[in-house]
Every structure is written in C-alpha cells, then in structure tokens.
Structure 1
Amino acid sequence: MRLCPAPGGPAPLVVINHGSPARAADRPGLRPAACDSEAVQWFAARGFAVALPLRRGYGASGGDWAEGFGRCPQADFARAGRESARDILAAIEAARRLPAVSGDRPVVVVGQSAGGWGSLALASLNPPGIAAIVNMAGGRGGWAEGAPNTNCRPDLLASAAGEYGRSARVPTLWLYTANDSFFAPAIAQALHAAYTAGGGVAEYRALPGFGEDGHRLFFGRGGSAIWGAELGPWLAARLGRPLASGAAR
C-alpha cells in the first residue's frame, strides 16, 4: 500500500481503490497511482492523507486474484464485489494505524471502476468510521469478450447493485460520464435505480464525455476539474466542514 501523507502532520484519511484491467495479463503490472498524480493531489490540497492499496492478485500485492465473477451467463457480481470490499476494509484498518493518519477521524473511500464496485459492496457492510463513499464509474463485466461498450450481464449487475442497496446506509456519490466504454449511461442509471430502490443512499451525477473514453476521467489529465466540481461540495456537506483549498504539494 502506498501512503501519501498530508503536509503538517496526521490527517484524515482518503482511501483510493483501483480498477481491474480489461485483460488478465495486465493485472500483475498494476501499480498504485503516484503521490504527485493529479487525483491524489486534489485530496492532498484539501488536507487528506491518501492511501493507495493494491488488492489481492494485483501488482506486487501477492495472493490469488479473488475478484472473479465466473462465466458471463451466470456472473456473480455481488460475490466479486464483496471480495474487493474485504481487501478495502483491511487496507482502511491498516492505514488508520499509520503515524501520518488521524485514526479517529472519519474515513472517505473512493473507488474507480472495479474499485468503485467494491466500494459499494463495502457500503453494504456499513463499517464504522466511514463518512462517505465515492463511486467513480463503478461496475464489473465491462468490455465483455474484449469489446468496448459491451457488458457481460447488465441485468445481473443491476440485481447485485440492488442487493448491496438493501443494507447500505453510508452516503455515496456516483459519478459517470456520457462516453464511458465500460458502463454507458443506461447501465449506470440502472445500477443507481436498483441500489436506491433497495434503500441505498446515493446521489447520481451524469457528467459530460471526457476525451476518447470517459472511463478514464478520475485519473485523466484535467479530470479533477470536472469531478472535483461535483465532489468538493458534496464531500464538504458529508463531513460537516468546508474543505481546505490550498495548493497541492
């Protein structure tokens, strides 16, 4: 796990959770984002320490890959997300014990793509100390058979989102773009509808297209100006305080 400390001593924690490459062969080469990357710096400038864990089976994390959902016709997306949530929760517990983190302050969880899906699974567990969860283009089953704009079983994905929503009460913000090649607006909106129908607490933001593929918005150059405009006010409201706006280090 990479930790990017905030200047000035122990700080509240943000945990950023990565996606899953479309090709299995790319999982061993995955690396956490750098501390000077744009997405990390957005949070650092607002006074957060940022943890960037790698889940099982990615990069140098070790262990077997645990997030598989099986064959497409009978995809078990709910189970896959719960396995991601196990790793996210373990990373939160470990990061809270680090000297650079104020372990008694509320935690913010951010997840992109498969990391966003795992973060929604985490929300269904309602772990104590989690103030807010941000779902950046979350889901599973995208690029089915290696083809963009093709999802494995969007109906089963929505059903799994509804399953999470039945127990999830942590506030969540959902951000999806108009040109996401993994989760098009119709899929994203169906997930949100199923999640909230079950009782999940979620605010949905439909963002404009970004570059050639909006799925890359969160880590993309210039992306923070777009998602930050939505996230900043929402997060301040969830935390009950204005966010700092100093320059990132």
Structure 2
Amino acid sequence: MHSPLPAIGQVLAVILSLLGALAAPAHAGDEIRIQEEIWALPLPLPMFAYLVRPVGDGPFPLVIMNHGVSLNPTDRSFFPLVEFRDAATWFAKRGYLVVAPVGSGYGAAAIDIPERAIFGPFFSKIGKCSNPNFRDAGMAVAQVDLWIIDYLAAEKRIIPKDVIVVGQSAGGWASIALSSVNPPQVKAIITFAAGRGGRVGGKPNNNCAPDKLVEATADFGRTSRVPMLWIYIENDTFFGPDLSKRMHDAFTAAGGRAEYHLMPPFGNEGHFFIGSPDAIPLWSPLVTKFLDAPK
C-alpha cells in the first residue's frame, strides 16, 4: 500500500531503532510498563517519528501528536527529534501507542537545502502574510495523520477506530483541519495553542492576517463534527485570548464541536505549555475528563 523506504531510509531506520532501544528501557515501576523508539515511517512522504507505547504486541489505541512549525530554515534545522516526551509518556502510561512525527522539511538538511530535509520538502507553508493560505497548510499535515493511521492499522499495531489526535500550535491547527474531514478512525482531538501566522517577525501578539485565520477556522467548523478540546494559555504571545476566543466562536457558530479552556499564565511564554513536565498536572485533569466523557 505504501512505497518502500529509500536505501538511506532503511539504514537510518535500523540505526535509530537501535538507538531508541538503548536509550529508553521499559519503566518497571510503572503500572503500565512503556518503551520508547525512533521510527522511520514509510509513508508516501517518509519521515521520522518518536514513538512511545506500552510493552507488548498490542494492538493499542493510538495517539498522534502534531508539532508546531517554524518558517525559518535555520530554526527547522535545530528542531528536536523528540519534542513532547513528557506529554507523550503521560498518554503511553494510560495504554496508548503514541506517535509524534517530525514533519518533512526539518532536521540537519533544512539549513543546507532550505526547501528540503532528510526525507522531503517543507510542505506546510502559508504563503505571503498579506494573503495566507491557512486552509491548505493545515490540510497538508492532516493528510500525514491519515497516512499514519492507515500505516499503523495495516501493520495491526493499533485499534483502528480508537484514535486521538493531539496538536500544538501549527500542529493544533492541522488537527482542527483534520476534524473537518471527520475521519471515522478519530474519536477525539485535543489542541494546545492552535493556530497559524502567530508572532510575525518575532513580535509578540503580531499576527498574520488574523481575520483570515478566523475565517478559515469557521470554514473547518462547517463540516467538523469530531469532539474537540481546545486549550489556550493567557500569556500566549502567538495566539492570545482575544484571537483564540474569536476562533472558537467562529468554529462553533459554524457547527464545530469544541470545548474551549483558557488556562492561567504559565512561565514566561504560555505558547509552549504542553512541552513542560510542570504543566502536566494542570492540563491532565481537563484531558482526562474530556476523554472519559461520552462521545
């Protein structure tokens, strides 16, 4: 169903699987023992992924975690292979197989060849700030999520109709985009600080065409029916409270299903809330309640 990895991908897959096995043994003291791995996913657009899961053969319910983006090739070149380790571990200890793909266009080659990285192009551009294409940028990453679901289902590693998608920043925006096509495998979506075009030029609360972002959010809401939980932080300087509330109002007015929660300020910059282990006690009760509620 999927094209095979190129030769370099096969070599990297072997090397990284060995590194993952050495770096992350199972945690014997936990109620659910987990293990961490690094995979090279043989998708139509191959990419690396951090994976953490319960020990055993499965199949397991799946969590996909979508990361944010940088439009700067230098920043993308330093992007970490494992960004959400603590949050991913929280889900894995609750029985989920967690996959956090590293988007195509990231890694060492991003600086040498700005439009390409180890496995392919940086494909989630929004275009010019004066006329951004927020919709297609979100749908591009949403397509990757669908490929991952199909691949892991074909490998019989997951329970195909028990998928949760989690996204931060641009990854959260992609998760909202995914909800608009209502994949039957996806039962719930959780976003943290979702949006695109934030902090233009590195300036706090300087957004690229915020009205167009709200309009695109409404467009997704017209067809989205997947239950969603949207979490934002008061001191997020990428997508502040006024903008995030406008996005939510537009999404739900159009028919989308989303709970909105604005959390108190966190650290110096709330946008990266999900990446901190100190934030887990703050967001985990909301997430647990949301996931346990009838869908």
2:124 alignment partner in structure 1: 67
2:153 alignment partner in structure 1: 96
2:20 alignment partner in structure 1: none
State the SS of the aligned residue for 2:224. coil
Query: How far is 1:136 from its partner?
Result: 0.9
Distance in 2 (alpha carbons) for counterparts of 1:237 and 1:33: 30
Deviations 1:73-131 (A, max 9, x none): 111111111111112221222233445x3333410000000000001000001111100
Distance in 2 (alpha carbons) for counterparts of 1:98 and 1:32: 23
Moved more, 116-125 or 8-17: 8-17
User: Is 1:226 matched with 2:282?
Assistant: yes
Distance in 1 (alpha carbons) for counterparts of 2:56 and 2:120: 35
State the SS of the aligned residue for 1:200. coil
User: Is 1:80 matched with 2:133?
Assistant: no
2:260 maps to which of 165, 182, 204: 204
Deviations 1:182-229 (A, max 9, x none): 100001101111111110111101111110011111011311111112
1:167 maps to which of 223, 227, 242: 223
Matches of residues 100-249 of structure 1 in structure 2 within 5 Å? Answer: 101-238=157-294
Distance in 2 (alpha carbons) for counterparts of 1:228 and 1:32: 23
Structure with greater proportional strand content: 2
State the SS of the aligned residue for 1:134. strand
User: Is 1:40 matched with 2:88?
Assistant: yes
2:78 alignment partner in structure 1: 29
Asked if the contact 1:181–1:214 (Cα under 8 Å) also holds between the matched residues in 2, the reply is yes
What amino acid is the match of 2:76? R
What amino acid is the match of 1:89? L
RMSD: 1.7
Q: Larger radius of gyration, structure 1 or 2? A: 2
Query: How far is 1:135 from its partner?
Result: 1.1
Asked if the contact 2:232–2:244 (Cα under 8 Å) also holds between the matched residues in 1, the reply is yes
State the SS of the aligned residue for 1:82. helix
- Cα distance change of structure 1 residues 218 and 34 upon mapping to structure 2, 3 Å threshold: closer
Distance in 1 (alpha carbons) for counterparts of 2:63 and 2:87: 11
Deviations 1:15-35 (A, max 9, x none): 111111363321133233268
Asked if the contact 2:218–2:251 (Cα under 8 Å) also holds between the matched residues in 1, the reply is yes
Asked if the contact 1:150–1:182 (Cα under 8 Å) also holds between the matched residues in 2, the reply is yes
Distance in 2 (alpha carbons) for counterparts of 1:153 and 1:23: 19
Asked if the contact 2:83–2:275 (Cα under 8 Å) also holds between the matched residues in 1, the reply is no
- Cα distance change of structure 1 residues 61 and 158 upon mapping to structure 2, 3 Å threshold: farther
State the SS of the aligned residue for 1:89. helix
Query: How far is 1:172 from its partner?
Result: 0.6
2:42 alignment partner in structure 1: none
Distance in 1 (alpha carbons) for counterparts of 2:238 and 2:73: 16
User: Is 1:49 matched with 2:105?
Assistant: no
What amino acid is the match of 1:187? L
Query: How far is 1:65 from its partner?
Result: 1.1
1:5 alignment partner in structure 2: 53
Distance in 2 (alpha carbons) for counterparts of 1:32 and 1:130: 25
Residues paired across the two proteins, number:
237
TM-score by length of 2: 0.76
Query: How far is 1:157 from its partner?
Result: 0.4
1:15 alignment partner in structure 2: 64
- Cα distance change of structure 1 residues 95 and 58 upon mapping to structure 2, 3 Å threshold: farther
Asked if the contact 2:193–2:232 (Cα under 8 Å) also holds between the matched residues in 1, the reply is yes
TM-score by length of 1: 0.89
Percent identity, aligned pairs only, is 40
Structure 2, unmatched stretches of 5+, are 1-48, 108-116
Structure 1, unmatched stretches of 5+, are 240-249
